[in-house]
Amino acid sequence: MTPDERPIALTIGTAGHVDHGKTTLVRYLTGTDTDRLEEEHRRGISIVPGYAELNLPGGRRASLVDVPGHERFVKNMVAGSSGVDAFLLVVAADDGVMPQTREHLDVLRVLGVEQGVVAVTKTDTVDAETVELAELEAAELLGSAGIEASILPVSGVTGEGVEELLAALDALAESVGATHDGSGLVRLPVDRSFVLKGIGVVVTGTLWSGEVRAGDTLYTTAGLRTRVRGIQNHGRPAEVARAGARTALDLAGVEASQVEAGEVLLSRPVAETRSLDVRIRLLEGARPLGHGARLRLHHGTRAVNARVRLPDREELRGGESTLGRLILAEPLVVLRGDRFVLRSLTSQVTVGGGTVLDPYPAGRKPDPRWLEALESGDLAYLIPQVLSRRSGEGLEAGEVSQAVGGEPGEVISALESVAGVVRVGGLYAPEAEVTAARERLLAVLEQRAAKRPESPRLTIAEARTATGFGDRLADALLGELAGSGEIRATEAGVSLPGADEVPPELEREAESLLDELRRAGVEPPALEPGPAVRLLLERGAAVGLGPKLFAAREAAEDVLKEVKTVCRAEGEISLGGFRDRLGTSRKYAQAWLEYSDSAGVTSRTGDVRVLTRRYR
């Protein structure tokens, strides 16, 4: 593995007040100017998140996210900070802690980013006493937030203190480690989408989870399929994009308008949601939040309006947390465990945030027992509940893990040990449901064998219906029962073992009936379609001419041969002419001509029949 192919060990989000030197420090650390927009250079501030790769002293790779500091661009800061593992909080020595310093730290806290390093910048512009005062302010800010972090004086101009800062970040990478999941579902929140001449549609974002390779198929939230033609990581061509890396993808099969900023690319379709059951936390200084309040919810690169429902109280006070439900004005793709930020609609300040517990809540209001179990990770309670909520579907281990938010290994272990849960093929389902489905299927097969001994099989579709399960779980159950010998499953259908053996008495009856039909020739007797008739039809020894009219196969072949002979000689055949040709009554002639039509040999034109193109 080359140095450029190493996984990202840490994604670090810079934070801090406008003009406190974040971009200058990032440029010194990485050699990359993260202010890429003309307006950013003109105004001297970051407007959208910038990204750079940082090589740490211990040989690890880190991704630096330089987020905007101006208060008008906090929403972009939220987008940049989503998916961050640790922070690099920048405090200018000449200014000290400022309002956006506090708000940025608040945003990081509600996103669950509470480990990092503080860099007191611009030390080359002030005296030692001023630097010390800035360090004290930074320490006080961290203390009020309950966060412990190293505070290091640096200069992004002279490089003073940069070695110590890199060492601290390297130690952070070793202790914190990236939280991005390199396996399972690919999630790439898109922050830019554009068209490059000669290349096509290109999207960029930080890969939250999974791995992407050229040729992979990805899906938009609307379910549109797109194929990855090329990959870049931090501006360099790459074979694979790994979780945590700044990624650009060259896409085929979609228009730029179909994958705009705010879109999420996924390795499989994931249903959107318009309601979330969550744990909401208000910041200490926030105004009380009332039941029914409207806020702006930020998740990844999306921001939507949301209405808050508090099931157990009228309002939530600053510094408190509670279980609640968020009703979204627009649908989002959200997974269990995702973090979000809440900002006020009027004053545009961050008021809190929280964690998604259930992205697809059931019922009119949150179920506290269910949500508390989700928070605590009580797998013994959660797993049966998840499977019961998806009754008749069955879930793969990865799907269960996603639903309960647990580590895949722990969930798989729990699935094998939790009482009342069984594995059916590659799916897990409630044991009681599987037992009932098995009994239903076997009962239907027994009834079929008793009622239709000549044809005791159910079609695959009928067998699935008999289980009462969805197709995926039904097929898994059919496979399990066939493997254990409880049923016989073939392409022809599903039956009980031994049921395909025709009873001797029915075999004798069918043979006698077939002899009778052969003797009758083109004028077979009227018969009730009983087991013997159905057996002959299934074997192809007899054909149906009408509801109660059946003939031997040999007679049918002779009649069709005669029809072809007449039509080829005369171009057509009439009912009267065919009646005379067969020397039979109009009833039989009519039945045989209709059989010829159904067999595709002839087609009716007015009062005559002509051969179809296939037999001319």
**Identity at 577, one-letter amino acid code:** G
pLDDT of 6 reads: 57
Residue 520 located in a structural domain: yes
CATH number assigned to the domain comprising residue 155: 3.40.50.300
24 and 136 co-located in one domain: yes
- The verdict on 168 and 279 lying in the same domain is no
Among candidate residues 362, 387, 417, the one where a domain is terminated: 417
- pLDDT at position 336, please? 86
Which two structure tokens, joined as six digits, stand for 215?
A: 């040729």
pLDDT tens, position by position, 308-331: 999 888 899 998 999 999 999 999
One domain, residues 13 and 97: yes
Same domain, 337 and 394: no
Domain count, the chain: 5
Query: Would you state the structure tokens that stand for residue 78, as one six-digit string?
Result: 């939220």
Tokens of 200: 């096509």
Answer yes or no: are the C-beta atoms of 118 and 152 closer than 8 Å: yes
Same domain, 61 and 143: yes
pLDDT computed for residue 73 by the predictor: 41
Name, in order, each residue with C-beta under 8 angstroms of 283's C-beta and a sequence gap of 6 or more: 106, 109, 110, 318, 319, 350, 351, 352
Both tokens assigned to 90:
């920048």
**Residue 237: inside a domain:** yes
Q: Do 86 and 164 reside in the same domain of the chain?
A: yes
Identify whether 395 is part of a domain.
yes
Domain boundary among 339, 371, 403: 371
pLDDT of residue 207: 85
Q: Which residues in the chain come in under a pLDDT of 50?
A: 1-3, 34-49, 69-74, 77, 80-81
How far apart CA 538 and CA 541 sit, in angstroms, is 8
In angstroms, the Cα distances linking 194 to 222, 257, 500 are: 19, 9, 63
Whether residues 530 and 584 share a domain: the answer is yes
Instruction: Examine the domain organization and report whether 243 and 326 are in the same domain.
Output: no
Residues 428-449: pLDDT tens digits?
999 999 999 999 999 999 998 8
Quick check: is 454 in a domain?
no
Strands 8-15 and 86-92: parallel
Cα(124)–Cα(97) distance, integer angstroms: 18
pLDDT of residue 301: 84
On whether the CB atoms of residues 570 and 580 are closer than 8 A, the answer is: no
Whether residue 234 is found in the same domain as residue 91: no
Same domain, 257 and 315: no
Residues 367 and 400 in one domain: no
Q: Residue 206: give the domain boundaries.
A: 187-266
Q: Domain with 584 in it: what CATH number?
A: 1.10.10.10
Per-residue pLDDT at 179: 53
Overall pTM surpassing 0.95 (yes/no): no
Spatial distance between the Cα atoms of 263 and 279, rounded to a whole number of angstroms: 25
pLDDT at position 38 is 39
Q: Please check whether residues 220 and 300 belong to one and the same domain.
A: no
Residue 561 lies in a domain: yes
Is residue 458 a part of any domain in this protein? no
- Distance (Å, whole) CA 616 – CA 606: 19
The tokens of 616 are what? 């001319």
Structure tokens at 190: 């898109």
Taking CA atoms, 14 is separated from 156, 247, 261, 340, in Å, by 14, 18, 21, 18
Q: What's the token pair of residue 417?
A: 């040990």
Query: Both ends of the chain: CA-CA distance in Å?
Result: 68
Which among 118, 141, 176 is the end of a domain?
176
Domain with residue 247: its CATH number is 2.40.30.10
Would 238 be classed as within a structural domain? yes
